[in-house]
Chains A and B, each alone.
Chain A
Amino acid sequence: MPENIYEARMAGCTLTGALSVACFIPGAVAVVHAPQGCVHQTFSILHAMANESDLWTVPEILVSDISDREVIFGGEERLSATLDTAAAKKPDLIVVVTSCVPETIGDDCGVICSRHPYADRIVYVPTSGFLGGSAKDGENAVLEALATHAPVREPVPGTVALIGEKNLESEADQNYAEVERLLNRLGLRVTVRFCRNCDYATLMQLGTAACFILRDDRAADAGKRIGERFGRPVISEFPHGLSGCLTFLRAAGEACGVVEERIAAAIAEETAYQGSMLEKFANLSGTAVFLGAEPFTGTAEVAREAIARLDMQESTDGFSIRLPFYLPIGTAGVEKMLYLWRRTVNNG
């Protein structure tokens, strides 16, 4: 739970967070013990996101449909029946999450899941809606629960697992591509995206990764425990900012045991790449810009580094440019931000 009471109040529902992970496992079925309306909300978000990505496919979420009757007489039968429906599909995995309603009426969901004939393929995560914390807590709970099913293995050198990608952000795959590009400079490859479009069998290879990279501190709770479970180094976030990319290369290289020469070469290559990228924006040199409010912690720092590298100035009289809502990931993220700045400067 966030320590700040304002943040706690605004922190969203565990269900949305949990489903943002559980719905991105091909071959798995998400079961939600809740009233229909709760799942409609998440389904609508997934639909909107799929539409923006032109994917047009939305994972199936089964809901037990708690109504007045279950509120009075209990909802365990409904959960059991929904599990039957899910099991009939013979999925690789059933992820069960709960809303605040079964928590309040006292349904013993854990027992229902553990006694079900499909129990060995059921991962029960008692998210309990807002009674179980925030959307972030929901994400972490599912990540952690799934990780406990993955066996501890010997690490395979040169492999990396990504943990806690933000499946609901529209540029998730672009961010992944940028991280993959940087890791390739070190000769590293991503073997598991935990959990983004990786099937159950792939997720269970989590323990073979030599290093874990978290999307950001939103996944820190799960990342810490997963790192401890498998005894692997954990890099706390995707790279942001120009110098952040170079720092990331060193950290990832060292975490995976890449030799120093290779790390140094990768950093030199990326430095040259950043230089050529910045040349495209040379006409911004000398331009004054006004950054305004910082929508996401760290974006101003990334922006100020770019301002310095391009010999721009920061001034309240300058062009008012809008900072990106999320931290720009990698060199590509900075490049996209600069395109927006250039549009503003060139067109007023």
Chain B
Amino acid sequence: MAENNCANPVWPCAMTGAAATLAGFPDLCVILHGSSGCYYYPRSLLKVPLFSTYLLESEIVFGTIDRLHAVVTEIASTGKPVAVVNTCVPALTGEDLKTAFSEETAMFVDAPGFCGNAEEGAAKAFAAMMPDIAADRSGVNIDGINLLDLFWRGNLHETERLLVLLGIPVAVRFCRDTWKNLQAGAAPVTISANPSYASGVGEYLGSMLFLDIPKTVDRLLTLFPNIDAEVVLAERQQVEEQMFYSCDKYLRKYTPPVVAVAAQESYAVFAKAMMERYFGSDVPVVFARDRAAASVPYSVNSAEINAKIAAAEPDLILGSTFEAAACRHAAFFGITPPDRSRISVAARPLAGVEGGLMLIEGALNALMNAHTAEGKKQ
């Protein structure tokens, strides 16, 4: 069993993932049913209003239902919809928490931290939402928007921009939309900006990560034969030429960078493929935070990830500053939280046409800065 021990785990728990998913609806009041210690982390990470029952030990002993009822009742009196996210201890004590409020008053998401990672929490939140499909709703849903994602705002803007170019209306954004819009029903088809946060709503047509765009647009064409696909594909083609041009310039001076990648599975696979395609890179280390994929092992064990990265002696790390901190000589571009190498407040995409450019631009600048620093040192 010892091999399962984890040192410095790099990924949040299910409760945080569920809260992040629900908090994407600003008109939904999200209550964390737990202690202040559980509340502070998602509150500081997400930077959006969250509520809590701030449980005390005595309430665990004598029951938390009265406290939950009081908090839900007070918040529901505002007339806004309410969601309750459960945490570890109230999930263990066997109380029937759903008796604290009616189904009409609040939605209950049982996502204690011990049940899994952030993506599993997000999945539980989606399961509790059970959004209806409105067969007559036009357009497509945008999936894979999550407040935990460094690029969620940029991804949303970029995916919406591409859909505007295609002439396809947006139905529901999972999850950065209004609760009211969700209640109107989701469209029957969905595309994603980050497939690691999958809502499971509607027929999934594909991702809008740069390399996936042609296939996804093809599938959209089968359902929306009158869309202007060429405008998006032409823009993508032009951008790809720019990427090859910029990378060719780099490769005239330097050998292809050895790259280490650690991110959610969707971004990890994407980043690896991009570095191989445009830089001709060797990517000997790839770790997925949320789930394993073909040739991409899963790990949230910082010690394991950092040891593998150090052994590979990469020129570039695409991951979080957890990895960058352990391998200071390598260039770094942040694609997964936390990224404490920079102030990140603007909307930067990793999805879409601009997202592809953002990754290549970020990698190139990081590599060039590292070469400059090395030159100065010498």
Contacts and interface: CB of A to CB of B under 8 A. Distances in A.
Interface stretch (B30-38, B181-189, B208-216): B30-38
A41 B4 CA distance: 19
Interface in A81-96: 81-82, 84-85
Contacts of A40: 9-13, 300
A60 B40 CA distance: 22
A5 B70 CA distance: 15
A283 interface: no
A100 B35 contact: yes
B73 interface: no
B113 A65 contact: no
B62 to A, nearest CB: 13
B6 A62 contact: yes
Interface in A10-39: 10-16, 35-39
B232 interface: no
Interface string A113-134: 0000000000000000111110
B4 A56 contact: no
Contact of A130 (B11, B45, B55, B321): B55
Contacts of A70: 114
Contact of B7 (A10, A35, A61, A84): A61
Contacts of B9: 36-37, 39-40, 43, 63, 65
Interface in A184-224: none
B38 A13 contact: yes
A82 B35 contact: no
Interface string A38-79: 111101100110110000111011111111101100000110
B371 to A, nearest CB: 21
A36 B114 CA distance: 7
A8 interface: yes
Contact of A60 (B7, B38, B328): B7
Contacts of B10: 40, 43
B89 interface: yes
Q: Which of A13, A16, A70 has the most CB of B within 10 A?
A: A13
A56 B4 CA distance: 26
B2 A129 contact: no
Contacts of B92: 71, 101, 104-105
A13 B37 contact: yes
A99 B114 CA distance: 11
Interface residues of A, number: 54
A60 B57 CA distance: 29
B295 interface: no
Given A56-B325, A71-B114, A81 B340 contact: no
Interface in B1-27: 1-2, 4-16
Given A35-B88, A100-B35, A101-B92, A81 B114 contact: no
B93 interface: yes
B328 A130 contact: no
A263 interface: no
Contacts of A5: 56
Nearest to B55: A130
Contact of B54 (A9, A39, A58): A9
Contacts of B40: 12-13, 41
A78 B303 CA distance: 18
Contacts of B8: 39, 43, 58, 60-61
B14 A9 contact: no
A101 B115 contact: no
A252 interface: no
A135 interface: yes
Contacts of B151: none
A38 B340 contact: no
Contacts of A39: 6, 8-9
Contact of A81 (B5, B56, B88): B5
Contact of B114 (A51, A85, A101): A101
B5 A47 contact: no
Given A9-B54, A11-B36, A131 B5 contact: no
Contact of B93 (A51, A60, A104): A104
Given A37-B15, A131-B57, 4 more contacts: A36-B6, A44-B45, A48-B340, A101-B89
19 contacts: A12-B40, A13-B35, A39-B9, A40-B11, A40-B12, A44-B41, A47-B340, A60-B303, A63-B5, A63-B9, A64-B5, A65-B6, A71-B92, A81-B5, A101-B88, A129-B35, A130-B38, A130-B55, A131-B60
Interface of A: 5, 8-16, 35-41, 43-44, 47-48, 50-51, 56-58, 60-68, 70-71, 77-78, 81-82, 84-85, 99-101, 104-105, 129-133, 135
Closest 9 CB pairs of A and B: A37-B13, A13-B37, A130-B35, A9-B54, A37-B113, A35-B114, A36-B9, A81-B1, A81-B2
